[in-house]
Amino acid sequence: MTPTRYADGVPKLQSRRPLASIYIRLSGAADEANTSREGMEEDARGVVANLGADVYAVHYDDGISGSVRDRPEFLAWLDDARSGTAQILVPYHGDRITREGVNAAAMVLDVIEGKDPATGAVVRPPVRFVSVDDGLDSERDAESFRWRFVIAAEVGRAELHRIKQRALARRRRLRAKGRVQGGRRGWPFRAVPRDDGKGMRYEPIPAHADAIRWTLEHLRAKGTKGDIVREWVRRGLKPKGTKKAEKEGRETYWHMTPITRILSNPNIYGAQMHGDDVIRNEDGTARIDEQQAILTYTEYRELQHLLGLRATRRNRPDPDTEALVDFFYCSSCDRVMYPHRPAAGRTWTYRCRGGVGVCPNPVSVVMTWAEPFVVREFRERLGDLPIDPGGWEPDVYTPDPAVVATLTEAIQAADERLKEDLEDEEALKVVRQRRDLRARLATIQDAAAESSAEAVIQYRETPPGQTYWEAFLAAPTIREKGDLVALAFNGKVTVHPGRPGYWDPKRLVWDGDDD
């Protein structure tokens, strides 16, 4: 007699009684505290005993959705019948075997009836199907069983759809109230109970918030990124995931990639996040939690600006004159010129972005000749003149209220349409339209917020009587120096060809001046 391994792992001789294979699917992964698993198995074993059979195996799928067809234990359960080892299949719930409806029900029926799924021909003896919870039995009435089994499968599919709809509706209600369900907690924050006692909210960890504010001040003072890393280490701050790494025997350390990711996250100015997306109000503006904010939005934009400048400052020969990036233009193709980093011992230059093969006659100019000359020219033209604050006001972008209202109404109309009983294809089309409308509205509102913030950053309050040259020396960022220099030359200097190795100021022509 062939030895068979039972569910308890003890080899026993092949029983003359029929063998039953039990299948139980749990919605959540079971642990030691889960008593329903033991109770469900006990009930299933009782059904098997009443049928005069022995248990061959017990299969569990813990925490795997019924909409997943290739669940490991589900397939192993069906294989017990396909191989002829088990003559009875015993699931706990007949309607929880699958959440796919008739699609997966047909696969199970082929196994029960012993049919080949490709040809439909009977290729092995049929097996008995008996469910514990709802009493489905394939031997009582074959026709009635088929109807009941298919209906149970469709009920399971419909129930899954209702569960998804309830979950989505709950998320919509939470988002409408400025709350989200789950998600990743940002490094600067900790979760605390909400003031109204419903759910949790994020608040800044004081040490982490101080480090972020210090970083902004450090970059304003033209500090380096390396100093940021060293300061965060000196403060004893730990990267996210340190506890898990320590348990696994791994070391964690700071470098600029995770720090930049933290500093670039909108949640540090209080934006409510859902995954990687900013939660929006109905008018498309970002939803802000003032209790979560570490920086103001203007400070956040300035921080992004300074992080970008630090990336372009590397190894520049003269930090005091490096204000002219995106300022020089090639006379041949009118493309903006870029600062070219030379090999060791060579000279920095501005070069045409077109290059050989694209630009008919690409030009270059030595940086240490061109930049000081332009700055001196700026001082001669505007340096001693007092700044007129009224003439220094930027054009701040303001969204057209009519456009905002039209997009908002279109989004609301799409929301109403999705409440109707639409066909899947039509519903998907409406969802895509609503997504595009929300993206357009968010783009408009973000542009307005950024424009306002940049105005504050680039055009600070000017002390009475301050000259342009004094403002140039006091400007805290390279971009602000460049904006001041651009006032003297209408924002553009065209570079003409010249003799290699010799400096001729006539090669530079200011926009609006005569050649």
pLDDT tens digits, one per residue of 49-73 = 998 999 999 998 887 777 787 888 8
pLDDT of residue 394 exceeding 80, the answer is no
When mean pLDDT is compared over 189-193, 314-318, 489-493, the highest value belongs to 189-193
What residues contact 369, with CB distance under 8 A and at least 6 apart? 503
CA nearest neighbour of 407 among 514, 311, 296, 280: 280
Instruction: Give the per-residue pLDDT at 328.
Output: 85
- 126-130, 151-155, 494-498: the lowest-pLDDT one: 151-155
- By percentage, how much of the chain surpasses pLDDT 90? 12
Half-sphere exposure of 26 (CA within 13 A, CB side): 17
Instruction: Give the per-residue pLDDT at 3.
Output: 34
- 174-188, 305-319, 364-378: the lowest-pLDDT one: 305-319
Comparing 213 with 298, the larger pLDDT belongs to 213
Instruction: Give the per-residue pLDDT at 213.
Output: 94
Mean pLDDT of 161-172: 74
Contact of 325 with 241, CB cutoff 8 Å:
no
pLDDT confidence of 479, banded at 50, 70, 90? low
Helix (H) or strand (E) holding 511: none
Coil vs helix vs strand at 484: helix
Comparing 123 with 486, the larger pLDDT belongs to 123
Enter the DSSP assignment of 501. T
CA nearest neighbour of 58 among 13, 9, 97: 9
To 10 degrees, what angle do helices 206-220 and 225-234 make? Answer: 150
Instruction: Give the per-residue pLDDT at 212.
Output: 94
pLDDT tens, residue by residue, 374-390: 888 888 888 888 876 55
- 155-169, 189-203, 401-415: the lowest-pLDDT one: 155-169
- Over the chain, what is the mean pLDDT? 79
Contact of 269 with 299, CB cutoff 8 Å:
yes
Helix (H) or strand (E) holding 189: strand 189-193
Contact of 126 with 178, CB cutoff 8 Å:
no
Distance (Å) of CA 479 to CA 85, 322, 324, 384: 77, 9, 8, 21
Distance CA 422, CA 309 (A): 51
Coil vs helix vs strand at 4: strand
Mean pLDDT of 385-409: 74
pLDDT of residue 216 exceeding 80, the answer is yes
Distance CA 462, CA 7 (A): 82
Instruction: Give the per-residue pLDDT at 463.
Output: 61
pLDDT of residue 319 exceeding 50, the answer is no
